[in-house]
Amino acid sequence: MQRTAASPRRFSGFLAALQATLLISSGAAAPPLQPTQLTDAVPPMAMPEVARSARALATAAYLSEDERKDLRVRHGIWEPSDLDTPGRRARAAAICGRFHDAVFDDASVPAEDRAEGLLGRGDAQAALNALGAATSLRAARQRAQALWDLGRLDDARESLQQTRQTLIDRPLDNAGEIAEAVRAMVILSRLSGDDAAEPGRRSADFKMLMSVLARAREELDRLEPLVYLAEAELLQEKENYSEASDALQQAMELNPRLATGWALLGRLSADSWDFDRALAIAARLDELTRWDGEGEAETHERSVFGAEIASRTYLRMGDPDAAEAALSRALTAAPASRVLLALLPAAAAANFSEDLLADRLAKFDALAPASPDALFEVGSVLSDLRQYADAEKYLSLARERAPKWAAVLCELGLLQVQAGRDEEARRTLEQAAALDPFNTRVANSLTLVTEIATYDRVTSDHFEIRYKPGIDKVLAAEMLPVMEENFARVTGHGPGGIDFVPEGRTVIELYPDHHWFSVRITGMRRVHTIAAATGPVIAMERPMTGPGHSLGPYDWPRVLRHEYTHTVTLARTKNRLPHWFTEASAVYLEDAPRDEGRCTLLTRALETGGLLDFSQINTAFVRPRTPSERGLAYAQGHWMYEYIVTRFGPRAPLNLMDRYARGEREAEAFEAEFSLTRSQFFEQFKLWAREECRKWGTLPPEGVPTVLELLAAARKDAGVPEDSAQFSEPTPELVDEWLQEYPDHPDFVRLAVGFELAERQGEADESMIPMLEKLAKVRPVDHMPHKQLARLYLASTTPEKAIEHLEFLDQREQYLTTYAVELARRYAAAKDFAKAFEKAQRASRIAPFDPSIRELAATVAIQAKDFGAARRHIEALIAIEPDRSVHRKRLEALEKLAQ
């Protein structure tokens, strides 16, 4: 169902950070992002005080020229003339991620500056050799990173023990060294240690690191960018993205060329599905490495950081081919880059290329035999793609190599939560929490599985319902027979059926309020609000009005049929189908007519060129650019699915699913199945869509003028200017004139009805019935004539005539019980108790905790002599209103009546 985004990781301060860095980047700094690179321009803001202080210090007259040059390099505001020594050039090149610079091959460059560039290239052994016996804390961090990159994790851990002891034993008086020590401790936090002391030590270490950073910032040097960068890296390791972004903003205010900060910002953007911004950051990272007039024509390779962010973003977008291309361009200049080489097998995994994946993992292992990096990247990407079994395989292998790296356990635990394996998830997440007690995602997910363990369960052949003990038992008991009906419809081979039965029972978790539902979906990407499916698990919020509930009552049988369709299509395709396609099939199987709002939305998008192409529609579900774009993605996906069924037959979508299951990409599958490229399909779809709009009455018949065209003709005939107020809007007289020539024009008929209603303060009278019936005929998706006609007939001596209009409205209603309740009363008045109970039952499903509707359902059930159904509704009343003794008396009376 249409939902609002909640799954992507959230963070604050990004816009301000981006704007601040762009504003500080003036003069000789790297060029600012162009409008085509950074969408949704950020409002201007003043340069932060701390940045002004840094600039002032870098130009202070009391400093020597060399000191001023060093400060300009530190703060990323150097001029080319400042880079007059190999050391300064190396520091500047490392700051902006220019790792291909030949300066790092110069043995005269200070060891730590040279090692930074060599590490960025991926030359870990050369970095170790360059460091030699260097003893600074920066060297300790670099040495540990080099050992990690070589797969020598035990050596990395041993090398960092002294760094940790240094932080404990003596206060440091250099903010930069403190920052480097903290960055080194982030690496140490991923490595094994003393099991018995681990949980307490890790908690103490985190508090100590935050404390020393605060001292560095507040007492030693508030202008040191690395202090804020170290804090951001530490907080990101804890998955505290909001506070990490705040620290990152401060770091980048102090050094707008800080590529490490830009890269971290890019990772956060990609993780939060802000793809436009992530790709803009990737482009910015590439720009930062171009010096001395270099441009795109001279430098075709991507920077290491730019390629990393671009590839992560493309993998999130489901475009592994683009990720491959980005990686390839950067590997030309940095063929040993560990971060890029770790992402290469992840791209192969996303393309379901098993042989290529195995080959790339083997090559990575040859460089770093015990490194968990590539395995972790592969497992994370496969988990994101809901390839749970394979993802668990690679994450488990990564865990074997780095058993104390909390991020691996966190990803593994979240995978197990999404797969419905709660007990395994709880054990895994408890281990992760012991390793990282401050990790926010771990804490939230552990809270969830602990809560679910207290839930009761009811089962049927194909479903297990989990619910919080108490009032939710009422709904849980009613869900099973409805879900078995949904099972027959969705898995069957009838029109639109998926013709596939997934293994095992599907778990449905019924949450008592929006808070718990939100906790459930926090770790789930690609999902949104009142219900969500991860494959074997469907989560839903209780349909109820009141505090703590986001939406109130809703048509949960329809919602769960939608979500269960995801379960079945994901199973049939091995979780390999495009996002828009799984949503389209789910909307199709809701078996409900398209409402007026969606028809209008689709028509407007078609007429204005606003339909989403294949490069846009998947992202629109999770990162819409406008308030209406997510709704458009659902509606348009359904429309395209309907077109496929109409043109290519009911088996065509299933054939596509089977191609996706075999690992074919969407473009390849479309060409093989339809003999059309996606662009050709899209153009032909739009031709069909226009005809559908004419059937709906949202577009006039072909060759018939529109309102705007006739107004323009009226201005021309009257000889008035185009911008004249005369004939700028239709009048009743003009509409009457137009109707003489075009009596069935849907827009003209609707305008005529609108003018008549305006004269009657919005309420039609009996004289308007013919006009309203005509509007319902020429514009068959319009709700308004049916609402007016239902009201008129209900107030007349022939209320039974309202039924067809109430049915029209009820079929399109998902949240209100109004129409179903009135239909139950109308059918009961006509002594059609079977239909009356059907409508009362529908109302009770939309609002299962509304006692007035339960009373109506029980009454109609008794009239229909369905005493079992009447008992169920009265028992529900007892649970909903336990203090009202009248319900128990009704149950006693029913028992006597049923004897």
Q: pLDDT for 832-850, tens place per residue? A: 999 999 999 999 999 999 9
Q: Which of the four pLDDT bands, split at 50, 70 and 90, describes residue 820? A: very high
> Checking DSSP bridges between strand 531-533 and strand 537-541, what pairing results, if any?
antiparallel
Phi, psi angles (nearest 5°) of residue 235: -70, -35
Provide CB contacts within 8 A for 218, sequence distance 6+: none
3-state DSSP call for residue 540? strand
- Residues 458, 480: Cα–Cα separation, whole Å: 8
Render the burial of 401-417: b for 16+ CB within 10 Å, e for the rest. bbebbbbbbbbbbbbbb
pTM for this predicted structure: 0.80
Note whether 156 and 144 are within 8 A (CB).
Answer: yes
Sheet of strand 537-541, all strands in order from the earlier edge strand to the far edge = 456-459, 463-467, 506-511, 537-541, 531-533
- Give burial (CB, 10 Å; 0-12/13-18/19+) of 454: exposed
Decide: 861 and 869 in contact? Cβ < 8 Å. yes
- Reply yes or no on whether the pLDDT at 33 is more than 60: no
Instruction: Give the 3-state secondary structure of residue 533.
Output: strand
User: What value does the mean pLDDT take over residues 720-730?
Assistant: 81
Distance, in Å, from the CA atom of 868 to the CA atom of 894, rounded to the nearest integer, reads 10
Per residue in 514-568, pLDDT (tens digit) is 777 776 666 444 444 556 777 788 989 999 988 877 778 999 999 999 999 999 9
Across 184-209, b (16+ Cβ under 10 Å) vs e yields bbbbbbbbebeeeeeeeebeebbeeb
Query: In this structure, are residues 468 and 512 in contact, taking their beta carbons and an 8 Å threshold?
Result: yes
Hey, CA dihedral for 791, 793, 794, 800, is it positive or negative? Answer: negative
Q: Provide the β-strand partners of residue 506.
A: 463
CA distance 445 to 415: 11
- CA dihedral defined by 676, 679, 684, 690, rounded to 10 degrees? 160
Backbone angles phi, psi at 288, to 5 degrees: -60, -25
Flag whether pLDDT at 740 surpasses 70.
Answer: yes
Cβ partners under 8 Å of residue 383, min gap 6: 391, 395, 411, 414, 415, 418
Interatomic CA distance for residues 139 and 5, integer angstroms = 43
Token pair of 610 as six digits: 């606003």
- Look up tokens 């003794």; give the residue: 885
Please give the angle made by the CA atoms of 92, 97 and 103, to the nearest 5 degrees: 55
Question: Measured between alpha carbons, how far is residue 456 from residues 189, 476, 874 in Å?
Answer: 39, 10, 22
pLDDT in tens, 415-452: 888 888 888 999 999 988 888 888 878 888 888 888 88
Q: Can you give the pLDDT at residue 532?
A: 72
In DSSP notation, 785-847 reads HHHHHHHHHHTSS-GGGGHHHHHHHHHT-SS--HHHHHHHHHHHHTT-HHHHHHHHHHHHHHS
Name the pairing type of β-strands 506-511 and 531-533.
Answer: unpaired
What is the sign, positive or negative, of the torsion defined by CA atoms of 647, 648, 650, 653?
A: negative
DSSP 883-894: T-HHHHHHHHHH
Nearby residues of 46 by Cβ (< 8 Å), 6 or more positions away: none
777's enclosing H/E stretch is helix 769-778
Which candidate, 124, 96, 127, 102, places its Cα nearest to that of 112? 127
**Residue 882: C-alpha distances to residues 358, 470, 841, 868, 874 (Å):** 62, 12, 22, 20, 11
Going by pLDDT thresholds of 50, 70 and 90, the confidence category of residue 47 is: very low
Confidence (pLDDT) at 628: 93
Output the six-digit token pair for 726.
């005369």
- Burial tier of 336 (Cβ tally within 10 Å: 0-12, 13-18, 19+): middle
User: Per-residue pLDDT for 51 more than 80?
Assistant: no
Whether the predicted pLDDT of 597 surpasses 60: yes
Report d(CA 69, CA 348) in Å as an integer: 45
- Angle of the 746-759 helix axis to the 707-718 helix axis, nearest 10: 80
Burial class (CB in 10 A: 0-12, 13-18, 19+), 223: buried
Are 232 and 245 in contact, with CB atoms under 8 Å apart? yes
Tokens representing 435 are 């390793």
Q: Tell how far CA 96 is from the center of its chain.
A: 30
The pLDDT tens digits of the residues spanning 326-382 come to 999 899 889 999 999 999 999 999 999 999 999 999 999 999 999 999 999 999 999
> Is pLDDT at 569 greater than 80 in this prediction?
yes
State how far the Cα of 784 lies from the Cα of 479, in Å rounded to an integer.
33
Q: Please state the rounded mean pLDDT for residues 65-77.
A: 91
Q: What is the pLDDT of residue 680?
A: 97
Nearest of 78, 82, 143, 139 to residue 110 by alpha carbon: 139
Beta pairing class for 506-511 and 463-467: parallel
- Quickly list DSSP for 139-206: HHHHHHHHHHHTT-HHHHHHHHHHHHHHHHHS----HHHHHHHHHHHHHHTTS---TTTHHHHHHHHH
Q: pLDDT at position 773, please?
A: 97
Q: Say which residues have a Cβ less than 8 Å from residue 366's Cβ, sequence separation at least 6.
A: none
Whether the pLDDT of residue 35 is over 70: the answer is no
pLDDT digits (tens, 9 = 90+) for 578-593: 999 999 999 999 999 9
Q: In whole angstroms, what is the distance from residue 58 CA to residue 225 CA? A: 14
Contact of 748 with 739, CB cutoff 8 Å: yes
Query: Which of 635, 634, 638 shows the shortest CA–CA distance to 653?
Result: 638
Give the mean pLDDT of the chain. 88
Determine the Cα–Cα distance for residues 332 and 351; give it in Å rounded to an integer: 22
Q: Convert the pLDDT of each residue in 444-480 to its tens digit.
A: 888 888 888 999 999 999 999 999 999 999 999 999 9
User: Cα separation of 231 and 228, whole Å?
Assistant: 5
